[in-house]
């Protein structure tokens, strides 16, 4: 069997090197977004900005709860709220970085932040209510990340991977909160 025969079936699925190189040279101002980007960029950017708002609201809610948690069992829970707040901030940063990679602008404006967010900023009275509100917010985040991942499908693997990594952490958060709730 000759070299050409071995290579032939695979090469049908790939653009030839010359075409790839030429396309990369065109529209270089588009940064990481190439002609092969298959998702609807406008929709992906809108969804990412909604996720960014959701994460920022979660940062604010967890920080509020960290400082307001009181009672006999409060200390370890207050600490956990701060750990979550820090992780939500990391999520926000990852999302903002991906928005910029896709040629968009991250919307950090406080104006309309809670409207753009999927989850809510609920102050909550006592420790149990705080845990419940955070669990509700995590479940909302899980649902919206699942929906976004399903929407993106195979069309934007990098965004999908960012969202999947975040989703895994939100599931851990929800799991921890539900354990806390059982201990109360």
CA dist., res. 65 & res. 51, Å (int): 21
Q: Would you give the distance in Å from CA 120 to the centre of its chain?
A: 16
Helix axes 74-101, 41-68, angle to 10 degrees: 160
Q: Say whether residue 88 binds Fe ion (CB under 5 A).
A: yes
Minimal distance, residue 163 CB to Fe ion, in Å? 11
Give the residue with the Cβ less far from Fe ion, 35 or 172: 172
Q: Is the dihedral of CA 105, 108, 114, 120 positive or negative?
A: positive
Of 109, 8, 145, 121, nearest in space to 64 by CA: 121
Give the residue with the Cβ less far from Fe ion, 61 or 173: 173
Count of residues that interact with Fe ion, criterion CB under 5 A: 6
Q: Say whether residue 91 binds Fe ion (CB under 5 A).
A: yes
Residues in 144-183 that interact with Fe ion by CB under 5 A = 170, 173
Minimal distance, residue 134 CB to Fe ion, in Å? 8
Of 144, 127, 125, nearest in space to 57 by CA: 144
Q: Say whether residue 66 binds Fe ion (CB under 5 A).
A: no
Minimal distance, residue 92 CB to Fe ion, in Å? 8
3-class state of residue 118 by DSSP: coil
3-class state of residue 39 by DSSP: coil
User: What would the x/- binding string for Fe ion be over residues 112 to 151, using CB under 5 A?
Assistant: --------------------------x-------------
Give the residue with the Cβ less far from Fe ion, 55 or 133: 55
Residues in 5-24 that interact with Fe ion by CB under 5 A = none
Number of other CB atoms surrounding residue 113 within 10 Å: 17
Q: Which residues bind Fe ion (CB under 5 A)?
A: 55, 88, 91, 138, 170, 173
């Amino acid at each position: 069997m000759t070299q050409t025969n071995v290579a032939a079936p695979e090469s049908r699925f790939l653009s030839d090197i010359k075409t790839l190189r030429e396309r990369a040279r065109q529209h270089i101002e588009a940064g990481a977004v190439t002609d092969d980007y298959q998702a609807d960029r406008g929709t992906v950017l809108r969804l990412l900005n909604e996720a960014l708002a959701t994460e920022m609201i979660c940062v604010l809610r967890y920080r509020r709860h960290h400082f307001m948690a009181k009672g006999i069992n409060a200390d370890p829970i207050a600490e956990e709220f701060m750990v979550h707040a820090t992780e939500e901030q990391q999520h926000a940063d990852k999302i903002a970085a991906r928005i910029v990679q896709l040629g968009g602008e991250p919307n950090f404006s406080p104006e309309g932040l809670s409207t753009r967010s999927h989850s809510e900023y609920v102050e909550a009275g006592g420790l149990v209510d705080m845990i419940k509100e955070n669990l509700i917010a995590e479940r909302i985040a899980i649902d919206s990340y699942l929906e976004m991942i399903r929407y993106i499908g195979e069309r934007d693997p990098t965004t999908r991977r960012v969202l999947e990594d975040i989703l895994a952490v939100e599931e851990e958060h929800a799991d921890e909160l539900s354990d806390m709730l059982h201990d109360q």
